[in-house]
Each structure stands twice: as structure tokens, then as C-alpha cells.
Amino acid sequence: MLAMQPTRQRTQQPAQQPTPQPSVTSARYAKCVEVSKRVRFDIDRDVIRGRTFDFSKRFLPNGLSRVDQLAFLGSNDRRLLSQIQGRTYANIFGLVERFIAAKVLEVSREHWLGDQNALEALVRFGDEEIKHQELFRRIERMCAAGMPEGYSFVPEPNAVASAVLSKSTWAVLALTCNIELFVLAHYHQSIEAETDVSELWKDVFLYHCKEESQHAIIDELEWVRENAKLTPEARDAAVDDLIALVGAVDGILQAQAAADTLYFVEVCSRPLTAAELDAVKVTVLAAYRWQYIVSGVQSPRFRDVLGSMITPQQGERIGAALAPIVA
Ligand SMILES: [Fe+2]
Ligand SMILES: [Fe+2]
């Protein structure tokens, strides 16, 4: 089980976050603004550069797609499955960045007449997520151009965003922090050193990661700020919200893994046996759970921040909810 233990053992109350000096916090927002200006990318000029996808290359690296675990598939079919997962990666980000942009713009309200460094950092964060949605819509269309008919992306971004945004801000910021951190992990741990994946996909990961690095810092600052406002009772309810959100994400992943497996079976090079089909389905779901949940919650940074906010009992509840997903 992936227990979410607090960083300090206690029995009832979460540790008090050390209250950061306003000038120190403001300087961190200002640094994010400075770096954001320096690394800012343009979709066409920097990322796509007139290129199309090379379908003779894998899109997602094996560390994310896990297609190397399906030894009964030929190399062309393993590559195809990595490309289907890449298309879903673009669609999942188009989806999550819908609610992230909305939440970021909402929390920026609290800085309107306050710290202008924080306000600028959040406005840039929101603007970048709107641009990322456009990037991933472009990627989806470019994937579609080279793939057979029949792919479907199951969830509807606005319906998911509405459901997510109905939960407490603490829980939405926790989920967002997880997402920002797994973007960084995916680039640095899974694709940066790869030489045999699509160059264009590698650049999508690289440029996305460059802007997400600031998002992870800003999100953490906002999450800690929100946490300090909550009563113990409100925080306990927010933990329930976070557990519900993780369950909802997992529901989406289960539906999409099933849809992507069906599509793969239709377009791969040969009929699969029932056992092979089951193995593909299990592997794709495990890959999606790793990509969109586990690779973030296992990040030491995520665990430290969450652990500093919750009680041991709350950590156990979160760990129990994650156990079947991690398994
Ligand atoms: Fe993004
Ligand atoms: Fe982001």
C-alpha cells in the first residue's frame, strides 16, 4: 500500500506549516514569473516547427506505455499501442488543463489587490494552460491524420471540469499539484534519455515540462496558502474530496483503457486470443494508472507537502484509497 504518512508523527492535528515570510513567498512568485518569461514557447515556432508525426517511431516511451511487457506482440503492434497511448496522452492533458486553468484563474482573485507578483504568476500560469490545451488539440489532430478511423476519447472535458471544480479548492489544488509533478517526472525519468521515440513527441514533453516546472511551484504555494485557511473539520472533508477526485480520475482511466484496447484490437496486425486481449487491457490500464496517478503521488515532493498537512489517520485513508490503483 502506498501510505500517505505525514512527515511528522502526530495523533490528532496536522503539523502547522511554518508560516513563510510574505517577502520570501513573493520572491518565489517573482522568480516563477521571471523563468516563465524566459522559457515561454510558441506552439508553431518552437514545438511543431512545420513537422508531422513520424509513425515509424514510438510516441510514448516504454517507461510510460509499458508496451515492452507485451512480448507476444510484434514490434509494429507494440509501436502502434504506444502511438494510441500518445494520442490519449494529448487528450487527457486537453482535459485536465481545462479545470486547472479555471481553478488558477479563480484563486488569482485572492491576489487581485494584494501581492502583484503572485497575481502575475497565476495569470501567466492560466495563460500557459490555455495555450497547452491548444497544443494538445493540435497534437490530437496530427495523431488522427496518421491513424485509422475508430479511435474515441471517452470523457468530455467540460463535464469533467465541472465535476472537479465542484470539490473543495484544497482537493483540486492537491490533484493539480500531482499532475504538475508527474509532467516533470514523465520528461526527466521516462523520455529525456530516449533516442528511439518520435522527435516531435519528445519536444512536446520538453516544452511542456519547461512551463510546468513553474506551475508546480505556484500550485504548491497556493495549496499551502489554502491549507492554512482550513479548520481541521474542513481539511478532513477536503481529504474526502481528494479521495473522490482520485476515484473519478481512475474511473476515467478505466473507461479509456477499455476504449483504447478495443481500438487497438481492431487496428493491430492480427487477431488476438482472449488471453492476449486481457493482457493488453490490463497493461494499458496499469500504464494509465502509472502515468496519471501513481507517478505523481510517488513523487517525494508531493508526499512531503501532503504529509505536512494531514493527520496519520487521513494519510491512512488516502493510502487505502490508492492501494488498489497502485497494485
Ligand atoms: Fe500544461
Ligand atoms: Fe501546468
What pLDDT was estimated at residue 6? 54
The separation between CA 319 and the C-alpha centre of its own chain, rounded to angstroms, equals 19
- Would you say 203 and 181 are in contact if contact means Cβ atoms under 8 Å apart? no
The DSSP symbol for 166 reads T
Residue type, 297: V
Q: How far is ligand 1, taken at its centre, from the CA of residue 168, in Å?
A: 21
Confidence category of residue 194, pLDDT binned at 50, 70, 90:
confident
Cell readout for 220 is 504548491
Report, as an integer, the average pLDDT of 261-265.
Answer: 98
Q: How far is ligand 2, taken at its centre, from the CA of residue 206, in Å?
A: 13
Which ligand places an atom closest to the C-alpha of 179? 2
| pLDDT of 10 above 50 | no
- Would you say 212 and 184 are in contact if contact means Cβ atoms under 8 Å apart? yes
DSSP 170-227: HHHHHHHHHHHHHHHHIIIIIITT-SSB-HHHHHHHHHHHHHHHHHHHHHHHHHHHHH
Report, as an integer, the average pLDDT of 110-125.
Answer: 97
Q: How far is ligand 2, taken at its centre, from the CA of residue 129, in Å?
A: 6
| pLDDT of 8 above 50 | no
What pLDDT was estimated at residue 16? 53
More confident residue, 17 or 277: 277
Report, as an integer, the average pLDDT of 309-327.
Answer: 96
Which ligand places an atom closest to the C-alpha of 134? 1
Q: Nearest Cα to 259, choosing from 155, 160, 159?
A: 155
> Which residues fall inside 5 Å of ion ligand 1, going by CB?
132
pTM for the predicted model, two decimal places: 0.93
CA distances from 99 to 96, 169, 176, 260, 295 (A): 6, 12, 9, 23, 20
| pLDDT of 12 above 60 | no
Residue type, 80: L
